[in-house]
Amino acid sequence: GKQSGRITPNKVIMSTEGTMSMAGTSSAHTATEPEQDVDIVFNDEVVGKTHHQFMSSGWSAKSGHSEMVEIDVNKQSGLTPNVNSPNVNSPNIAPNELYTTTDLATTTTKGTDTTANTVDALASTANTSAFHKFMSLPNKLEYIALALSIFALLFSIILLSSVKGSVNSQMNEYEETYNAALNVKLHYDAVDAMDEAQTIYVGNYYGWSYAQWRGAAYRKNDADYQGGNDVQYPFADIHVRYGDTLIFKRADESMTDNLFLVPAEVYESCNFSAFADAEGVMDSSSVLWLADADDMYNANGTAQYEFPIEDWSRYTFDNDLFAQLIQADILYFTSALRWNSRWGQSCRGGLKVRVLIDRSNRTTMPIRRSSDKWRGIQKLDTVMELSASIGHISRSLMLKQFTDEQRVRSVGDSGLTNVRGHYDGDNEWDDATFTNQGSGSMHDHAQSLRVLGLGEIQAVLNGVEFETHHNDYNLEMPSLTSNEYGATQPIPFPDVPPEVLNAGSVDAQIEEMQEWFRAFKNQDKSHRNYTDYFKPVLCVLEGNWITDNDELSQPFESDLSELDASTWSDLQDKMRYFANSGRKTVDEVLGHLPSSIRNTDNNSFPIVSNWEYRFVCHPLKSDVPTARFKVVDDLAVQLYGSVLTRKELKHSRRARFALNTFINLDDIDGDTQWTNGRKKWNYRDYIMEAVVGRDGYGVNLTDELPDGTGQALHYVDDKVMNAGYYSRFYSLGGADAMGSTGHRRSWCDRNLFVAKTTQSKVSPISMAFEAVDENTSQVLYYPTISKWSYAIPMEIVYLTPLTKWNPYNINEKSDDSFNYDKTGDCSGGKDTAFDGWSSNNAYFTPSKFYESGSSNVCATGSNGNVYSVTASGHYVVFPEIGGGVGLVRQRWPIFPIHERGSSEYKELKALQEVMLPDDYDSVNRSDVVNGVDFWNGDTRDLLYGIELSLEGGDHEHNVYIPGWKVKQVWFDEDAQQWLMSSDEFVEVESEESDGHLHTLRVWMQSREENVYRIKQCRYGAVYDGGVGWSDGQSSDEFVEVESEESDGHLHTLRVWMQSREENVYRIKQCRYGAVYDGGVGWSDGQCDDYHDQVNRVGSE
């Protein structure tokens, strides 16, 4: 095996037998010679030589480099036998008593823990073989030694029997001392590669040098400029942790940049006047100085300046400013070369870099040893063989994962694959695909002001397939103030239009707010200029591999849902347990997030990475006209449950929308024409490139090879692309093998958007980049890593003024101080009405804003009055808005689907395009398919059924009534007419939503106008029994009576008595206005949790 040796200023002492391989850097040498030969000593004999060079590193210590050398020493020992040691096989003797080391020297540097060196020496001797060739002595000495040994053995037996207890005690003490030292040794040997200290070379192919002809400004003015693939500046931010080392070196003698550590304001302005001397010179006399150009270059390329990342707060500095700079969380490095010149200023040209320090401690991997303490340590050759075997197996698994991902990439795009299914049926489309009752399992949680309801989904991102828990994600955007991994902040809500606030009474405000929604729905800026108050937000599904330890963190903000696991192992085991039986958790709090071996430590120890995803949103700076959305003609979605035309589907939660990809660069927001045919960079790229990756806003990263070539440029304008933001298309300055300069990422994934990152938590892929030194023609290898995250667009959400409009001035409370004992029920007045609102119980929108005009949720305003209110959060489609506005969609799902990339899907869509006319489901068509008016008319509902939406409160339930039940209960075949009476009701279950479902008895009031009424409603399924019915209309013995006037209006009610003894009375019907106003506007019964209406899905 290969063993490391110890270096003194002029020789290396090998501590064990075998082969020694030595090369690299040593520090703190006391030698003053610039070059010298170094002897390699084994058993006091020179067994080899190497050559060492020393140079200044800019600090008080010296550093050097040695040539590579391998020395093979067989059947020898660098240890002297300890004659006082008993037999090596004695079971009670600790191995550190067997031998003592000779001429073992170590060196230390500032900040180095010498304990590791001492323990290393101790543990190294403990593992050394005890074999000595006793037979090499003269024969006479052999016999004498043998006799003396026999005598000593007999004497020892007699002696040991009398001092057994004392010896055992001492041996135990030796063993404990050894094991304690060994534990420390193993701690220092056990740093996981995913957390190893990194050596980071700062700069580009030219190192720490400003090559003016590779700066953006110079290249753009160059007549020979061909696209800027070699533009190098500015440098990207660097993320480091304690123990890392920054290396500054120059690659060209003609470039003479120096190095300074500067305040942030100097970094931004490049103005050194406050620190330069009277002539404006910045040199080593400055407090900001770190290194001159000569410290970072010599002819053989070995000179470099090393800046260790340490906790400098432990040190004392003479200058307070320098102490403040070096102890900060962000270090600012730049060059002051020609800072006050009119040309060639390095700092202004971009030769500067920010270094962000993660101050968390590094972690170590667990070391598993046998319980037999030191005797569990294996022979070195066995360990090396096992290590190599583990390395081969790990690499095979790593490549197998890569092959699997490549296979997934080859058969489909990044996108959704499925949502949770619930049903069986006679047709393939009777169960869910990527849509069930909601597209991508979207639903409402309007009572939570910041939550967008989203259930469980399965998806693929860049070949990685995963399954999520119930998401219900918050409206969060990447943080504007922190670049910490995963940092987000709430998205600000739009203000209320002044015209609404200044309208006067609440009723007047309601009418004015309805007009703003009318303008938004009709996209009519002349009616109300709505774009300042209806703001589009793009939400994306983002994923990447992380090299985290086993501790599991919640991947994104959610007020309603989180993963039910504390570690990755816990999550994986729970998921496997439930998948084994096909069950799910009631709260849907588990997900399948794969793990993978993506790297190895020294080609041996496997490093496991875990897949993490999140939903994050980005406010778009420009309006997105709703004319850019069109219902996708997914036939399986149209036929799922009840058959819906695309027009009906638009106001259904089932709809998925195509985003118009056409883009007119001269009128991006205004020109929304739909065009057909192939495209490259388009409108989808335009909005996705506004979304920042894991490094957060302000990131500045380039996508290039380590030598600075092959730099990615923006596809449209050939400017250097900021790779820290998501992109799909890019261009290069030169043509590829096929003569093209423009490219799309991925082999065949049309939906793959990627963003580069420097976050230490993101799992890297590494390689050694091969290049030829321009000066020496020597082949060099640059170790380089690749860190990226991936994303697809999920939905566009229009934030509206409703989230801030509070005309009753209901008091806002924190979630902790909110009184959850109050139910919000209107029947109890102030005793039960909410006495405020909080972010997770936000009810302050007047019920009269909606067409229903009333709600069974009440809250107390600031004046002490109780008001009927509705949830003020976000909806897929708002309840029908009053004033004739109707249904308004707020959330527009635009996510791609995985299968779209398969050959089969493309062929089926091509067939659909050929066979179906554009208006295949138009209400104006009279086509008959197999004797059935497929998309319209009575026959469709009798065959495929009807879908209703149970609305009211803060969520909704879909209610599917099968065609056979519609035909059996509501249609008289003999008379060929519909039955519209409260006596002809259908008993049916709703879909599950918000953790529950309902059983309803529904009757048809008007077939022509699609009016359906609730007869009775209760919690639970049909088979739960008939307990708990809430009657809407169940007695013909009712009293019609007017209420007193309150809040500027009165009601007419039809009330019946349910129990005389218990004084229980029920509302049969209720409407606004007096008795003599007529019978228009009756609102029949409602469910206990404030559902007060059922609507035909897709109708207004």
Q: What is the pLDDT of residue 1021?
A: 65
Q: 971-981 burial, b for 16+ CB within 10 Å, e for fewer?
A: beeeeeebebe
Mean pLDDT of 861-871: 94
* Confidence band, pLDDT 50/70/90 cuts, at residue 5: very low
Strand 2-3 and strand 18-27: the pairing is parallel
Mean pLDDT of 451-472: 95
Question: Do residues 874 and 855 lie in contact, with contact meaning Cβ atoms separated by under 8 Å?
Answer: no
Q: Exposed, middle or buried: residue 274 (CB in 10 Å: 0-12, 13-18, 19+)?
A: exposed
* pTM recorded for the entire structure: 0.64
The answer to which of 221-235, 410-424, 997-1011 has the lowest mean pLDDT is: 221-235
Most confident residue range from 103-112, 137-146, 581-590, 870-879: 870-879
* Confidence band, pLDDT 50/70/90 cuts, at residue 371: very low
CB proximity list for 957: less than 8 A, separation 6 or greater: 949, 950, 990, 991, 992, 993, 997, 998, 1091
Q: What is the pLDDT of residue 1088?
A: 46
* Confidence band, pLDDT 50/70/90 cuts, at residue 35: low
Q: How high does pLDDT run on average in the chain?
A: 77
Question: Do residues 6 and 105 lie in contact, with contact meaning Cβ atoms separated by under 8 Å?
Answer: yes
* Confidence band, pLDDT 50/70/90 cuts, at residue 833: very high
Question: Do residues 243 and 234 lie in contact, with contact meaning Cβ atoms separated by under 8 Å?
Answer: no
Q: Exposed, middle or buried: residue 380 (CB in 10 Å: 0-12, 13-18, 19+)?
A: middle
Angle at 790 between CA 788 and CA 792, to 5 degrees: 160
Assigned token pair, 687: 């909005």
Contacts 24+ apart (CB under 8 A), 579-586: 584/420
| End-to-end Cα spacing for the chain | 79
The answer to which of 76-85, 260-269, 419-428 has the lowest mean pLDDT is: 76-85
Q: Mind listing the pLDDT tens digit for each residue in 1085-1094?
A: 544 444 555 5
**Three-state DSSP class for 330?**
strand
Q: What is the pLDDT of residue 716?
A: 92
The answer to which of 320-324, 722-726, 953-957 has the lowest mean pLDDT is: 953-957
Most confident residue range from 54-63, 73-82, 360-369, 829-838: 829-838
Mean pLDDT of 62-80: 39
Question: Do residues 91 and 164 lie in contact, with contact meaning Cβ atoms separated by under 8 Å?
Answer: no
Q: Exposed, middle or buried: residue 170 (CB in 10 Å: 0-12, 13-18, 19+)?
A: middle
Q: What is the pLDDT of residue 763?
A: 93
Angle at 693 between CA 690 and CA 696, to 5 degrees: 90
In terms of pLDDT, which residue wins out, 425 or 39? 425
Instruction: Kindly list the distances between the CA atom of residue 160 and the CA atoms of 95, 154, 155, 168, in Å, as whole numbers in the listed order.
Output: 19, 10, 8, 10
Nearest to 448 by CA among 841, 894, 1014, 757: 841
**Three-state DSSP class for 1002?**
strand
Question: Do residues 311 and 275 lie in contact, with contact meaning Cβ atoms separated by under 8 Å?
Answer: no
* Confidence band, pLDDT 50/70/90 cuts, at residue 170: low
What is the rounded distance in angstroms from the CA atom of residue 940 to the CA atom of residue 280?
86
Q: 400-430 burial, b for 16+ CB within 10 Å, e for fewer?
A: ebeeebeebbebbbbbbbbbbeeeeeeeeee
